[in-house]
Amino acid sequence: MSTVSNLKPTAEPAPAPMVSVRGISKIYPGGVEALSNIDLDFPEGELTSLLGPSGCGKTTLLKIIAGLLPATSGTVEVDGRPVTKPGPERAFVFQDFALMPWATVLRNVAFGLELRGMPKAEREAIAQTYIEVVGLQGFEHTYPHALSGGMRQRVGLARALAVDAKVLLMDEPFSAVDEQTRRKFQEDLLELVAKERKTFLFVTHSIEEAVYVSDRIVLLAPRPGRVTAIVEPDIPREAGLDRIRRDPVYLDTVEEIWHGLKRYLE
């Protein structure tokens, strides 16, 4: 599976890349090669998933783009500027929520703005807006221990949205919740992508999830991680989000990706 499939019509102009990755390799101490010569562009206003088996370097690549981990070689640019450390144009949504247990929902969501020195009234007003966007109104003064896993993940997403970053980096954000909550999150995410028009980079192990939420899917092979294909499902969503999983394009794309990846599990 080495070709780009299900391409959008060539007459459409390609969106300008918000994130450019060139020649990224990562070798961990002890000689473990996690990534090898990755070249990728991530278009503005789209959601791109990184998909592949365990050990293919999905999270490593995400952390390098976030500036949380140095690459061994290669460069990353976000909006034309080199990445050398974390920056305000990028926000990270962690798999394990990463909330402050001593802080309320409101303070957790406003925390990034607090670090920037924004006045309390202004940052809390912005936080309130995104608390409502993720459906947590009424829980502003609740502490994380009193929330379900799905609600805690919504807090993490609201915090990332509140700082108005151009790029949202999401590391398996729905893996810790039940299947029903996960499906609702996936629908909510599609609505957020359409509304916010930010650049979303989304790591997942789930083929079905990647095909459902993505404009583009980057398939990575393990040992070391390298790009094997880029799939653009181009699934029509006008008929409603609840019908996507029954669409023939969705079903065919899931099967195509599975047949391309399963050889790495044999």
Q: What is the pLDDT of residues 170-218, one digit of tens each?
A: 998 888 788 888 888 898 888 888 888 899 999 999 999 999 999 999 9
Q: Are the C-beta atoms of 130 and 196 separated by less than 8 Å? A: no
236 burial level (CB within 10 Å; 0-12, 13-18, 19+): exposed
pLDDT digits (tens, 9 = 90+) for 38-72: 999 999 999 999 999 888 999 999 999 999 999 99
Q: Per DSSP, what are the bridge partners of residue 50?
A: 203, 218
pLDDT at 4: 46
What span, in angstroms and rounded, lies between the C-alpha atoms of 241 and 30? 46
How many other β-carbons are positioned within 10 Å of the β-carbon of residue 18?
21
Annotated domain spans of the chain:
1-44+53-85+196-266
pLDDT at 241: 80
Amino acid at 22: R
Distance of CA 232 to the CA centre of its chain: 16
SS percent in the chain: helix, strand, coil, step 5: 40, 25, 40
pLDDT above 50: residue 1: no
Specify the DSSP element, H or E, that contains 84: none
| Cα dihedral 158, 164, 165, 166 sign | positive
Q: Where are the alpha helices (DSSP H) in 67-119?
A: 105-115
pLDDT above 60: residue 244: yes
Q: What is the CATH number of domain 1-44+53-85+196-266?
A: 3.40.50.300
